[in-house]
Amino acid sequence: MAARSADSAPATVRAATARDLDQVVAIERASFADPWSRHAFARSLEGTGVHFDVACDASGAVVAYIVAWTVADEGEIANLAVAPAARRTGLAAMLLDRVLAAARVQGVSTLHLEVRESNQAARALYARFGFVEAGRRRDYYRKPVEDALVLRLELGAQP
């Protein structure tokens, strides 16, 4: 799946590095009312079983990122965000495709994630990929207080 960044040039995806953290944190702060800290992202770079990718525009600027982790045959999409100017360009789907492919290679059978109940754009994206509602975490989000929907994707048998 090809994605286009805000400047209409194809985006490239690669593993995140420490040099990307300032840009990742800026996207995080622009996207979420209760953002992850820079330290949390830095720890993700060092974690075992962590998949942390960034999408970059033609100039090399980070415009989106995804963090996922796996333990045994289960995985979680922990964080996914796209810079406001680059939204609705296919970047989130491209990053999600890459994580799903890696999860399948690793033998992951089930992926989970939490999403704000009010985040219709994210819920529509995850539904397109086959995620289904598996539960609810009451008052999970703090700013503002809101329920999280727990979504699950069964990856099934490997082809």
Q: pLDDT at position 156, please?
A: 74
Q: Residue 49 corresponds to which amino acid?
A: G
Cβ atoms of residues 153 and 131 within 8 Å: yes
Checking phi first, is residue 88 left (phi over 0); if not, alpha (psi -120 to 50) or beta?
A: left
Task: Tell me the three-class secondary structure of 5-28, residue by residue.
Answer: CCCCCECEEEECCHHHHHHHHHHH
On the CB side of 75, CA atoms within 13 Å amount to: 28
CA–CA gap between residue 31 and residue 25 (Å, rounded) = 10
Report residue 23 as tokens: 């840009």
- Is domain 12-112 classified as CATH 3.40.630.30? yes
CA distances from 140 to 47, 78, 108, 147 (A): 24, 14, 26, 5
Q: Quick: pLDDT tens for 111-133.
A: 999 999 999 999 999 999 999 99
Pairing of strands 132-142, 110-116: unpaired
Q: pLDDT at position 11, please?
A: 87
Cβ atoms of residues 151 and 113 within 8 Å: yes
What does the pLDDT average to over 78-103? 95
CA distances from 46 to 26, 53, 91, 102, 107 (A): 20, 13, 24, 18, 21
- Both ends of the chain: CA-CA distance in Å? 20
Q: Where are the domains of the chain?
A: 12-112
Q: Quick: pLDDT tens for 46-72.
A: 988 999 999 999 999 999 999 999 998
Please name which of 67, 45, 155 lies closest in space to residue 106, comparing C-alpha atoms.
155
> Is the per-residue pLDDT at 31 higher than 50?
yes
